Amino acid sequence: MLVSILEAEAPEASYSYFRDFLLHSVAYTEQLYHTLQETERESTMKLEEATLLKDKFQSIFNSSFSFIGFLDRNGILTEANATALDMAGLQRSDVVGKYFWRLLLVADQHGDTGGAEAAFRAGTEGQEVSYEVNVWIKDKREVTILFSLRPVKNSAGEVIFVIPEGRPIQDIVEAKKRQRLILESSKLGTWDWNMKSGEMLINEWWRNYLGIQEKHGQPMMREEWIARMHPEDRQQALNSITQYLAGTLDTYQVEFRMQHPNGSWLWMAERGQVFDWDSTGAPSKMYGTLQDITHQKEKEREITYHRDLFTALFELSPIGIALNDFETGQFLDVNSKLLAPTQYTKEEFLALSYWDVTPKKYAPMEALALEEMRTKGEYSRFEKEYRRKDGTLYPVELRGIVIEDLNGRKLIWSIIRDVIEEKAAEERLKTALSKLQAVLDASTQVAIIGTDREGTISLFNAGAENLLHFSASEMLQQRQLQQLLLQEELEALSTEIQNQYGVKCTPKQAPFYEAQHDIFFTREFQLRDAHGTLINTLCSLTKLSVEGEHIGFLGIFTNISGLKKVEQQMTHLLERTKTQNERLKNFAHIVAHNLRSHSAGLIGMIELLEMEKPELLEVAAFPLLQQRTELRADRGRPNRNRSHGLGGAAAKGSGSACQH
């Protein structure tokens, strides 16, 4: 419009230049106006967009589960999100404008803010720092916060501010604590292996347990860990880790020995797996556990020893052994000694039950054995027969016990003794004894008593019946020889044998010990007869053998009661004679003393007369009296060289008395 007015009013010549200028100015002004309008519209849109972005940022900033803030280069908090303020129970004005490390939120329960300040200083130098701190929140609860400080730089690389971010990790801390307690209570160790650097971190309890000390805070290297292993186990551990990393093994696990600081070797079980890979896909970190299995290994060695011992005893046993199922009677295992007389192979025999090899006539005995096992857990010794593969029968003696396996299944362990030879020996013995019985019964003056190896009476002849007033039917297989002997005599014999031979011998074994060892045995015993009377006997005991096999003993007892009576009488007579001799000897000493006493008196009187009446010496009878007195005194003196004095006569008489 303005251009149109100027064109109508201005002269064409003088105003042409001005018109052109105005036209250009108006056009530029209109263009500028439109540009300003467009710029205003764009600014309004950008402002609206910035406001929207600010609102979005503020919303995200305040709704974040983490504690977020902004710090200037001096460490003063310029902004904090609502999450941090709400948890701390503070207002924005309580924290903004204050030093980060002096805020309650980042001070631990003891008021130590050194960690927060040091972390901020590291952040201003361009480092990203993380640390944990315990704080008190508004409801007076202690919470562990994991803080990270990230520096923000300008285009020149200068740090312009630091963003602190924290999030509660109390659940993680408690989970770690529970894990630590579980590991410590179960004696489990943990290790973390950086496969790039070779560093290996082991939890503190296990480091102390193994006596491992970190050098100046430096973690152990994997090579050092391998070097601590027993030389015989290292290669196996290296092979296992190589196979695991190569994918040959699904998991890494190995057992090895490691030396304890006290010098002993501990058995360890190590397990682990890769949990981190680098950008090329190569494993970079492994995590694993350690367990002390020394006690388990000791138990395994003990179990192996007992298993090997049992296997040796089972296979080398001179007696048959069988394992049967309690419910079905199926043979589950047998040793070679049991198989020998059956004519079956082991595979064939294990397909049978004990019902298949037992004749039906023994069913009542089997029923009794089963009832015993149900009530007592074992069955007593009994005899029956087994059927061979060819159908023939042979005698066996059985005894067993019930056990349960790990699954609660009832099993029967049986000791099964082949008594074929024993039965044959018994028959031969019976035959021999029957022939001997006829000979022995003819002798009524000597008691002959035969026993088995345990002392049970198997032979009792007529002489024994006459001597002890027992019948053979009362004694045979009913009583033992030891029951006829006095207990005090058996105990004395037992002590004598132990002192003489240096072996342990019970009173029950004492009568048979020397005979069993082929030592000639003869001894006096007192036997008690049916009426309780003690009879003195002289016993000779001999070992009985049939074809080199010891089957029992044979004792011959001679009644020496009469001889004992005569011996007692002679002993009594000798004692009386000895007493009489002592009396005669005493009498001789008395007579000799008296003679010496009277002679001494006569000599004294004669000497007195000589002194008082010397004239008596002139009398012819006085010298004769003096001579006779001295001779009598001489005879009264003891003289060892004299053989005909009174003392000699007494001694001679004593000797003749002892000869009667």
Interatomic CA distance for residues 596 and 603, integer angstroms: 11
**Are 321 and 334 spatial neighbours (Cβ–Cβ below 8 Å)?**
yes
In a domain, 311, yes or no: no
Same domain assignment for residues 296 and 190? yes
In a domain, 245, yes or no: yes
Same domain assignment for residues 75 and 55? no
Same domain assignment for residues 217 and 342? no
Same domain assignment for residues 291 and 372? no
Tokens of 54: 């600010």
pLDDT beyond 50 at 660: no
pLDDT beyond 70 at 48: no
Q: What is the mean pLDDT of residues 583-594?
A: 61
In a domain, 622, yes or no: yes
- Closest CA relative to residue 249, chosen from 271, 277, 223: 271
Domain boundary pick from 418, 433, 464:
418
Residues of the chain with pLDDT > 90, as a percent, come to: 25
Domain boundary pick from 515, 539, 559:
559
The parent domain of residue 225 ranges over 174-300
In a domain, 388, yes or no: yes
So what's the pLDDT on residue 353?
Answer: 93
Q: What is the mean pLDDT of the chain?
A: 78
CATH number of the domain where residue 513 is located: 3.30.450.20
Same domain assignment for residues 585 and 612? yes
The 10 Å CB-count burial string (b at 16+, else e) for 202-223 is bbeebeebbebeeeeeebbbbe
So what's the pLDDT on residue 244?
Answer: 92
Cβ-proximal residues to 658 (8 Å cutoff; 6+ apart), any chain: 574, 577, 578, 581
Interatomic CA distance for residues 467 and 63, integer angstroms: 119
pLDDT tens profile 77-95: 888 777 777 777 777 777 7
pLDDT beyond 60 at 60: no
Pick from 18-32, 55-69, 372-386 the range whose average pLDDT is largest: 372-386
What does pTM read for this prediction? 0.43
Same domain assignment for residues 583 and 600? yes
Same domain assignment for residues 622 and 553? no
pLDDT tens profile 331-347: 999 999 999 999 999 99
Same domain assignment for residues 179 and 292? yes
Q: What is the mean pLDDT of residues 513-540?
A: 88
pLDDT tens profile 155-186: 888 888 888 877 777 777 777 777 677 666 66
Q: What is the mean pLDDT of residues 205-218?
A: 73
So what's the pLDDT on residue 393?
Answer: 93
Domain boundary pick from 135, 168, 201:
168
In a domain, 135, yes or no: yes
Same domain assignment for residues 574 and 648? yes
Tokens of 398: 């059985």
Determine if residue 486 is left, alpha or beta; phi over 0 gives left, psi from -120 to 50 gives alpha, anything else beta.
Answer: beta
So what's the pLDDT on residue 633?
Answer: 54
Q: Element (H or E) spanning 292, and its range?
A: strand 283-292
In a domain, 310, yes or no: no
Q: What is the mean pLDDT of residues 536-541?
A: 89
Same domain assignment for residues 110 and 155? yes
Residues of the chain by 3-state class (helix, strand, coil), percent to 5: 50, 25, 25
Q: How far apart are the first and last CA of the chain?
A: 195
Count of the separate structural domains present in the chain: 6
* 378 band by pLDDT with thresholds 50, 70 and 90: very high
Same domain assignment for residues 322 and 407? yes
pLDDT tens profile 484-512: 899 999 999 999 999 999 999 999 999 99
**Are 174 and 142 spatial neighbours (Cβ–Cβ below 8 Å)?**
no
Same domain assignment for residues 283 and 206? yes
